[in-house]
Every structure is written in C-alpha cells, then in structure tokens.
Amino acid sequence: MHDFRTHTCGQLGEAQIGETVKLSGWVHRKRDHGGVLFIDLRDTYGMTQCVVDEDSPLINEIDKWRNESVITITGTVRKRAEGTANDRLATGAIEVYIEGADMQSAADVIPFQVAEDDGTGEDHRLKYRYLDLRREKMQKNIRLRNNVIRSLREKMWNKDFQEFQTPILTASSPEGARDYLVPSRLHPGKFYALPQAPQQFKQLLMMSGFDKYFQIAPCFRDEDGRADRLAEFYQLDVEMSFVTQQDVHDTIQPVIEQTFREHANFTGEERKVEWLPNLPYKEAMLKYGSDKPDLRNPLEIVDVTEVFNRDDVEFKAFKGVIAKGGVVRAIRAPKVSEQPRSFFDKLNGWAQKEGAPGLGYIVIEGGEGKGPIAKFVSAEATKQLCEIAGLEDGDAVFFVCDMEGKAANMAGKARDAICDSMDAAGIETREKGVYKFCWVVDFPMYEFDEKAQKIDFSHNPFSMPQGGLDALENQDPLTIMANQYDCVCNGFELASGAIRNHKPEIMEKAFGIAGYGMDTLEEKFGGMLNAMRFGAPPHGGLAFGIDRIVMLLADEPNLREVYAFVMNGAYEDQMMGAPTPAMEEQLKDLHLKVNMPKELVKKEEAA
RNA sequence: GCGGGAGUAGUUCAGUUGGUUAGAACGCCGGCCUGUCACGCCGGAGGUCGCGGGUUCAAGUCCCGUCUCUCGCGCCA
C-alpha cells in the first residue's frame, strides 16, 4: 500500500465499501461523543468522515490531535448506518473506520478557524495566507483562476497564436505609470525597469514576423493600489500583424465571451453574457460620464445646458457656470416622485462628499416641476426639459453643472449613485445576473494636460492616429482620434488595446505634437524606432486583465481574493516581510546610498 | 499627500449618560457523553480596551496627538 494514500478525500463512495483504504489530509473538524469519535478529513478534493470507537486503542491518541494537523489514516470503507448518511457531502454515503492512524505534522493552535469563514480581518488572513488558502472559498477561487487561465490559453493556442515569454528586467515601457526600478550592479547609477506591460516586446515580435503573439504576462506598476488595482498583476497580452481593429475584436471577443460563458455560473447563480454594440468614447462620456460604464445601469445622461441658458430660467448657480463655458447634465430617475425627502437629501449629501455643491433635482408631477430649484425654471423651460430628458409624470431629474470634463465625470458618478439609491429604495434598477460587455472605441489621441499646460497623449502613445499622418499634419490635435479601444464589462475596464503606429515618420510627428523631440524618442524608444525602419508590418493588439476577469466571475469585490499570494493595500507582504531595508553590503554592491525622507528620520529619532 | 470607516480575549464582535471585578460566540485547556456532521453538556484559563498625552473623584467611553488596517480621491491611459 502507498505510504500516504490510496484515494483522495473526495473520492470514496459506495463502490469502495469493504475496501481497505489509506487517506491523508488535514483534520477539518472532530466530533467527540465519548465512545465514538468522528474526524472530518479534508484535502483539496473533498472531505471524508472517519470514525473510531472505544473498541479501538487509537481513540485516546486521536482525540488529542488538533484541527489542521496533517494525518494519515488507514481503514475500512463502510456504508453509513441507516439514517446517518449526509447528502451534503460527496462522500456522505460512506465513512472510513480507522484501523491505523499516523500523525504527519501536528498543528499548533491556529490563529483563526479554517473550517469556518468567520470574517477574519484581511491583515490576519494575509499574514497567515497559507491557512487562509486552505479555506473552501479560497480553494475554489484559486481553482477558478486556474481554469480561466487554462481556458484562455487553450483558446489562444487553438487560434494558432504562439505563446512567448519576454524579459522582466527591461527598460521603461510607454504605459505612463511609475516604474519599479531594479538597480544594476554592473552599471553603477543605471536601473532596469520592471515591465508595466510587454508593450514594446510584443510589437517587436510582430516586426520579427511572428504574426500572432500571446502571453500570460506579469506586469508591474508603482502606483497606489485600489480594490481593482495591484502593483503586480497578470494580463492576457495579445498582438497580431496585418489586422484591422475589427479583426482584433473578431479574434478576441469569442475567446473572452466563451471563457465567461464557461465559468459564468461559478457562484451558483446563473449569469448571462451579453455583448453590446461598440460605444464611441465621446458617446460614453456624454451618456454615461465614464469611459468604462456599467451598462447594467439603465440611467442615461443628457445635456440640458440650453434649458438653463434660457432667459426665463433664473437659476444663477448654473447660469454663472454656463457663462464661463460650463455645461449642465441631467439624469432622469424614473418613478421616484413617491420617495421621501430623505431619498433626495441623501443623494445631495453624497454629492457634497464628492466635492460638488450638491445634486439639484426637479420632480415632475402633473406636468409641473417641483422641488427646491423648480421655482427658478419656467413652465416653458420645464416642458423643454421634459422633452430633452424624456421625463414623464412621477420622474425626477438630477442636475450636474460644471466645466465639461468635470461635469461628465460627476454625472457619471451620480448616475451610479442614483441607481444604487433606487435599488436601495426597492426600485429595481441595476440589472442583475448578467455580464454586459462592449468595446469602447474612438478614443482621443491627445488631451490637454491642465497641470503642464500642454497637449499630451491621452492613452498609449504607440497607437495609430485615425487619419494617419494627414490628420496629424492638418487637424486640431485635440480632435484627432486614435485606433484605440477598451473592452468594458459591468463598470470595469477589462482590456485596452490599439492598432499600433508602425511608421517612424508618423511616430516622430505624433510625439512632436505632444512636445517630445526626436532626441527623447530616440533615447526612450530608439530600439523600436530602429526596428520600424527595417520593415514593420501593420499590427495591433490588446491586453486583458486576467485578475479582473477572475474577480468578476468569482463575484469578489477585491483582486486580493483571486490571488494566492498578494500584498496588502500599502503594498507590504506581512507574511514574507517585504519590503525590507537592504543590507549595507548589498547597497555597496549596487553603488547606492539611502536618502531617507527628513520627516521619517525625525519621527524615528523621536521614537 | 488628502478624505471616510475601523482598531476591546487567539478570531469575530457587544459594551448604555463617564461609575462595581470589561462581556458573548467560536477557538483553547480539563471533564462527561456510542451516531454526529456548525454534535451536545459542565468547568476553566485567556485583556497594556492600538500607542502616547490630557480632562475628571472616576475614562474602553470625552478631548488632543500618533500608529496600523481598509475604502475612496489624487496618481494610474
């Protein structure tokens, strides 16, 4: 017989009754009834009830074994007595009568319970992640992650993409986030950058003639975290040659759509997968106030600047902003006129927390406007408002007024806040049980950087501008669109990509408009620029955030729930103790001296 | 860097208007129990109430500072 096991803990059933078997696993729970002792033995495959009674000399020894100890038991599979079967357990028809038992590794008292999800704080869970990972939910989430990655990889292979690995110690990529730097010992004062994405490498592979590239690529960005953002994450990175934007979408959309369909019922709730028509960036910003709208939210934004600009509308707060070039955006909330005043007050309070003066609204009742600001809006103007926003009796309409960019943004947030409030008030608004996808297309190539007071790339600077060189030479840069697209699902940006610029002269012009001279271009991206001069195919691609995909499928609020090992919100790993100060020797090797922030030094001296 | 929330037993939490010896559940230790599967019953141990200062006869509770965790803003396309 094998040293450790003949079966797994999820395997035994009535077919094995009478067999002598060996199982190994963790003590999940014990139930001691005096004369009889039950042990639930757990491994990643399942759980098996093992029994020993007072006829056996083992009972006293086994009784002392703590939960989460690793043990091996030998015994006979027997049918459970009438009425004691457990339908909730896959192995619930049988139990193993213990004839031999070995302690492989005794567990100390554990810092939190593995057998139950008691809401243990994340800091504890991360410090003892190996224990946390034993819990059923994490085992399932990590398995989902495995399955999703296998699913994506298989589909890419089936489409004749080649899988690559690209360097981790490399130079800065054009993503725009802060780089993680690694000092070079052999080159004093010089640093490698960890890749924010393998952007240049995948483009270079196209220039090398590989035609269809993909990678499950680790990416690193040194920016503060969010629930859906980590310092290191994985992307399904894809690039193709001789393709249009439509080709890229047609190739990758089935991969994502099918992967979602395969795993959509992971939580036990059946979920639909819907792919909606392409959404131009401009329309997204106007109708949803976001370039990653949650399309389960049916509320839409309209522009009503003209209403508040009328002579018979007296609302000075808005008029003043409009005079400075601002806009008024409106969100219709259907059938909320019955809601108590607190419904509106809470939303107003929410808006103030977001830094707005408030969230003005008008309620339409009997064809008339009601509410705090209704008296400033004439009957004629109210009628026009109803036409533009499609208002009916019993509806309310909320207003955001600011300069265009800020107004769109705030309206987008308000759109979600109103939707949440309606759901909370029992008016079902946000659609449930569905993954709503779409491609957001036609992103602007440039934007005006208010801080630097200059034109800069709005997204990936390697994108091909729509209209090519001609557009760059003859169009107002702020009106030029890029062949750039995002894939959005339920309010999350799942992917971003573009048809790339493969012509050095367009590259030079494009960077020139953003104020980067040929010297900067050569210095930062010289390798790729050179490659373009030796025959570069038109190409494009995208990258999907794998962790976000798994997070959505697992219905988790947080990326940390779908990673085995992960840092906390401040990017510390309390389990491994990272980051740590470097030893003097190491710093010397690297020709580095640490220059601590003065305030930190003061604090440490005080302490 | 900024804002919201949290910090009390190993874990999750309760703790009234500032007032006796700071409680509960799970876990842990000891005992009882032959059919449970979140077993049950009895008993016990376990607390720098994050830390520092202040107000007060009296502080877990009020005030100030500080640290940690978390969510968001900035940042990240």
Assess whether A107 (CB) lies less than 7 A from strand B. Answer: no
Q: Which of residues 12-71 of A touch strand B (CB under 7 A)?
A: 29, 31-36, 38, 40, 49, 51, 53-55, 66-67
- Nucleotide with C1' nearest the A572 CA: B69
Distance CA A290, CA A329 (A): 13
CATH superfamily of the domain spanning A14-105: Nucleic acid-binding proteins (2.40.50.140)
- Nucleotide with C1' nearest the A78 CA: B35
Q: Mean of the pLDDT values across residues A517-542?
A: 92
Assess whether A492 (CB) lies less than 7 A from strand B. Answer: no
**pLDDT tens profile A107-141:** 999 999 999 888 899 999 999 999 999 999 999 99
Distance of C1' in B8 from CA in A117, Å: 21
Please state the three-class secondary structure of A547-594 as a single string.
HHHHHHHHCCCCHHHHCCCCCCCCCCECCCCECCCCCHHHHHHCCCCC
Q: Which of residues 111-170 of A touch strand B (CB under 7 A)?
A: 111-113, 116, 118-124, 126
Assess whether A543 (CB) lies less than 7 A from strand B. Answer: yes
Assess whether A493 (CB) lies less than 7 A from strand B. Answer: yes
Q: Which residue is nearest to nucleotide B74 (CA to C1')?
A: A224
Q: Which of residues 226-245 of A touch strand B (CB under 7 A)?
A: 226-229
Distance of C1' in B29 from CA in A1, Å: 38
| Residues whose CB is less than 8 angstroms from the CB of residue A311 and which lie 6 or more positions away in sequence, other chains included | none
Assess whether A505 (CB) lies less than 7 A from strand B. Answer: no
Q: Which residue is nearest to nucleotide B66 (CA to C1')?
A: A603
Within chain A, all domains assigned CATH 2.40.50.140 are found at 14-105
User: How many Cα atoms sit within 13 Å of A274 on the Cβ side?
Assistant: 13
Judged by average pLDDT, the poorest of A9-13, A18-22, A299-303, A451-455 is A451-455
Distance of C1' in B72 from CA in A354, Å: 10
For residue A356, the model assigns a pLDDT of 83
Tokens matching residue A558: 């947080």
ipTM score: 0.92
Provide, rounded to the nearest whole percent, the portion of chain A with pLDDT above 70. 98
Distance CA A47, CA A26 (A): 9
Q: Which of residues 257-316 of A touch strand B (CB under 7 A)?
A: none
Distance of C1' in B55 from CA in A126, Å: 40
Assess whether A458 (CB) lies less than 7 A from strand B. Answer: yes
Q: On chain B, which bases lie within 7 A of the protein's CB atoms? A: 1, 3, 10-13, 26-29, 32-40, 66-77
pLDDT confidence bin for A605, thresholds 50/70/90: low
Q: What is the pTM of this model?
A: 0.93
For residue A98, the model assigns a pLDDT of 97
| Residues whose CB is less than 8 angstroms from the CB of residue A276 and which lie 6 or more positions away in sequence, other chains included | A295, A436, A437, A438
Q: Is the pLDDT of residue A358 over 90?
A: no
Placement of tokens 């078997």 in the chain: A21
The DSSP element (H or E) to which A273 belongs, if any, is strand A272-275
Tokens matching residue A566: 């992960």
Assess whether A221 (CB) lies less than 7 A from strand B. Answer: yes
**pLDDT tens profile A538-575:** 999 999 999 999 999 999 988 999 999 999 988 999 89
For residue A262, the model assigns a pLDDT of 97
Q: Which residue is nearest to nucleotide B39 (CA to C1')?
A: A31
- Nucleotide with C1' nearest the A542 CA: B77
Distance of C1' in B69 from CA in A437, Å: 34
Assess whether A452 (CB) lies less than 7 A from strand B. Answer: no
Placement of tokens 């960890």 in the chain: A194
Distance CA A447, CA A445 (A): 7
Assess whether A569 (CB) lies less than 7 A from strand B. Answer: yes
Judged by average pLDDT, the poorest of A257-261, A364-368, A491-495, A601-605 is A601-605
* Residue A490 near residue A435 (C-beta atoms within 8 A): yes
For residue A448, the model assigns a pLDDT of 87
Distance of C1' in B43 from CA in A487, Å: 62
For residue A307, the model assigns a pLDDT of 95
Within chain A, all domains assigned CATH 3.30.1360.30 are found at 297-430
Assess whether A604 (CB) lies less than 7 A from strand B. Answer: no
- Nucleotide with C1' nearest the A291 CA: B77
For residue A604, the model assigns a pLDDT of 59
Q: Which of residues 356-395 of A touch strand B (CB under 7 A)?
A: none
Distance of C1' in B24 from CA in A398, Å: 47
Distance of C1' in B14 from CA in A124, Å: 22
Distance of C1' in B62 from CA in A152, Å: 58
Is residue A84 packed enough to be buried (19+ CB in 10 Å), middle (13-18) or exposed (0-12)?
exposed
Placement of tokens 């959005």 in the chain: A488
Assess whether A559 (CB) lies less than 7 A from strand B. Answer: no
Q: Mean of the pLDDT values across residues A27-50?
A: 96
Compute CA distances A526 → A171, A173, A457, whole Å.
11, 12, 19
Assess whether A2 (CB) lies less than 7 A from strand B. Answer: no
- Nucleotide with C1' nearest the A354 CA: B73
For residue A492, the model assigns a pLDDT of 93
**pLDDT tens profile A328-343:** 999 999 999 999 988 9
**pLDDT tens profile A361-412:** 999 998 899 998 999 999 999 999 999 999 999 999 999 999 888 899 999 9
Class of domain A297-430: alpha beta
Is residue A558 packed enough to be buried (19+ CB in 10 Å), middle (13-18) or exposed (0-12)?
middle
